[in-house]
Chains A and B, each alone.
Chain A
Amino acid sequence: MAIDTTTDLQQTVEDAAAHLYVWSLKDIPQDLRDALRNAMETETHKVGKRILETINTNVSVADERQNLVCQDTGLAVYYVRLGELFPLHPARIEQALREGTRRATLEHPLRSNTVHTLTRVPTGDNTGHKIPHIHWEFVPDWDGLDVKCIPKGSGSENMSFLKMLVPADGVSAIKRFVLDSIVGAGGKPCPPGIVGVGIGGSADLAMHLAKEAIARPVDDVNPDPDVAALERELFELLNETGIGPMGLGGDTTVLSVHVEQAHTHITLNPVAVNYQCWAARRASAHIFSDGTVDYDREA
């Protein structure tokens, strides 16, 4: 298949990115809505229940007024699954995602959060050096492109933790690190949210995996049964801590725990935690090689 380096398909991807960024900020996915409503109904702590009622009201107000769920428009993070036979080069896809982010920010307009790390000078359009960040997955024998946009707020991103445990620390130290991280984070990352845990690989890969983990739907379960068991155990233990909604106490500390693992070195045992707030915004598009786009809030 010929590679289209110039025109229509790149524009299609750019338009999709611009749409996904705004859409994800306003219309949260159904699995998340269900989880937030369920938490409100089951929470027994008075303050926690009140907070969950406000959260659910807020989701409705955002629907009615077509407004953003949360003011933090985040750093746009894209998760791309690119088929080998999709007729647009990754270099052009990267350009399209950047330009779509910029356009959405200026046209809506959205608050721009992106600054130079040393000078703190804002760029004004939510793009910058190496921003937006893109996670790539390449798929052989396929001609499609999936793009998922996750605007990642700073309240939760500031609650990211990495520890290079050693093999002798075992799995129990991994669990303990996750528990200590989430208890220590308290109300700062806007609980109840999605806890992403990355285990194995190297330091950078562990955190990369933790970020992939928060991008999964609330009720998604890791296909590896050992990893799924760890997800379930951490979910139950974290909800025994009593941190509760907004860190003010309650039964609901997390909506979900997702774990991603990679193989690692015989001497390594890394664990990374990345938190996603209750406003876990997420929206996806499936783009076909002929340029048609299928928007999918639930992917």
Chain B
Amino acid sequence: MHHEITFPTDEAAVREFRAGDTVTVQGHIIGIRDATQIRIFDKGVEPPMSLRGAALLHTAPNVRKLGEGRYEPMCIGTTTSARMSRFTEGLVRDHRARAIIGKGGLLPEALVPLREHGGVYLAIVGGAAALETTQIEEIEQVEWEDLMPECLWKFRVKDFGPLIVGMDTHGESLYENVQVEARKRLEETIYSRL
């Protein structure tokens, strides 16, 4: 099934998504990364923009500075999510973020907060940054510039995707399914031939 959705959104909307569905995003996406989340959760600093209902993107963009607090997108892509798995609970429970967009998947334990508090993980094609950049209309707001390039970025997007629902609110992860199947193949048909 395919979903067109505008962010920010509410919990009910993302609970409709099932692992394997495809999604195109309109509206706004907020860029966060390792250093951003270390500041929010480990240092306890309140983020200067609301994450409520947001789609978050694991990114550290290439930008050109135009003026005070103004940046032009040059090449915006997506980083590996697994490093930031431990922040999932705080994002969905305390900040009510509704989607995390990344590549490679969150660790399986992130399924619990996604299910309990209503959040989804949307998989983008890692490395496909030239295409992703064309789907970002403007960088509307930048906070925590001292963390450059791991600032808080607010992007206005158009037809952002295609994204694949990698982890849903019903406890299913495509990544886990693939891992279980791959390990079964190793045990049953591959190791014996080495």
Interface of A with B (CB < 8 Å)?
47, 50-51, 54-55, 57-59, 61-62, 65, 67-73, 109-112, 120, 122, 153-155, 158, 172, 175-176, 179-180, 183, 186-190, 237, 240-244, 246-249, 277-279
Contact = CB atoms under 8 A, between A and B. Distances in A.
B130 A172 contact: no
B49 interface: no
Nearest to B176: A186
Interface residues of B, number: 51
A180 B182 CA distance: 10
A111 B174 CA distance: 32
> Most chain-A CB neighbours within 10 Å: which of B80, B178, B185?
B178
Contacts of A187: 103-105, 123, 126, 175, 178
Contacts of B149: 111-112
> Most chain-B CB neighbours within 10 Å: which of A58, A176, A187?
A187
Nearest to B133: A67
Given A71-B59, A248-B166, A279 B74 contact: no
Given A61-B130, A246-B125, A71 B77 contact: yes
Contacts of B185: 240-242
Contacts of A47: 20, 164, 174
Given A71-B77, A175-B194, A58 B186 contact: no
A62 B75 CA distance: 10
Contacts of B123: 187, 246, 248
Interface string B123-147: 1011111111110000000000000
Interface stretch (B40-48, B60-68, B112-120, B152-160): B60-68
A61 B75 CA distance: 12
B5 interface: no
A104 to B, nearest CB: 13
Contact of B127 (A247, A249, A279): A279
Interface in B20-63: 20, 22, 35, 59-62
A50 B165 CA distance: 13
A280 B186 CA distance: 27
Contact of A240 (B175, B179, B189): B189
B4 interface: no
A202 B32 CA distance: 40
B189 to A, nearest CB: 7
B183 interface: yes
B82 interface: yes
Contacts of A179: 186, 190-191
A186 B178 contact: yes
Contact of B190 (A59, A61, A71, A240): A240
